[in-house]
Structure 1
Amino acid sequence: ADVRYTWAPTGNSSEKEVILQAEFFQRIEDGIYSITEGEGTNAVVDTIAFNDIDASGWYVQAVYKFAPQWRAGVRYSQLQSPDVPADFYAEHDELNPAGFNPEAYSFMIDYSNSEFSRLRLQLNQEELADGNEDTQVVLQYIMSIGAHSAHAY
């Protein structure tokens, strides 16, 4: 489920615009998770069955177009861990700890040269399961090539 609210303070969204957006997503699954430790004849397989395991997440973001070609935005997101039994986590440290719900923050600014290209600088800050944080700086060039539905070529 998602929701989006757009407001143009000047009445013209090509000049200034505020976009508030949020989305919630959920996954429910059944299955079997197996971890193999060791190799060959020494391999040990540990298996757990999943029934109606629920994992979900959401984000909320705000983007402000402060000039016709410039935008700035912020986003917060969180994932809720699946309900896997704690004893399975305790035996296998390669899995995220039970109950760990990672959070992430993103900040961006972008420049749109035209309706077909955009240059974006983004900073991401993510919380990791081991108590550390991951910081990413991303520079993107986004472009569209070819015929577009708005134009007859």
Structure 2
Amino acid sequence: MRTGTICAGLVLASTLAACSGSSTASYVDSAVVTAQEGVSAVGTLHEIIRAHGEGRLFPTFTTASVDDVLATATKALDELEAPTDPETQQVYDELHPRLQDAVARASEAREALDAADHGRVAAVDAQLVRVNDELTAFVESHR
């Protein structure tokens, strides 16, 4: 009887360990998808700013496009799942500030474009490139 209990305990422990690893991998996969949404939003905004600066976009289209990008970046931030253990906490702590940065830069871009402040638009665009690089690095390091 005691041997059966020990075996059952070992099976349960190994099953829980496997589930935990699987759960962490699933969390990382989800975080990568979320980061890719951020990359897409930031990259799109960078292209909008370039096209706007070259006079290739109507102001109303620029405004609507920036609003869409801001919504996408905000959605990515909102969809980042809460961490469930120390491993997922580390991933969360790495990605969350980058997504917050993406939303902040998108908001700044919107304000600068609305104000037609070309200097601020250029400064925000440079920050978007940085955020894009950071999010891309996150994606590549967690694939």
Q: In which range does the TM-score fall when normalised by the shorter chain?
A: under 0.3
Q: Give the structure-1-normalised TM-score.
A: 0.24
Higher relative contact order, chain-length normalized (CA < 8 Å, sep 6+): 2
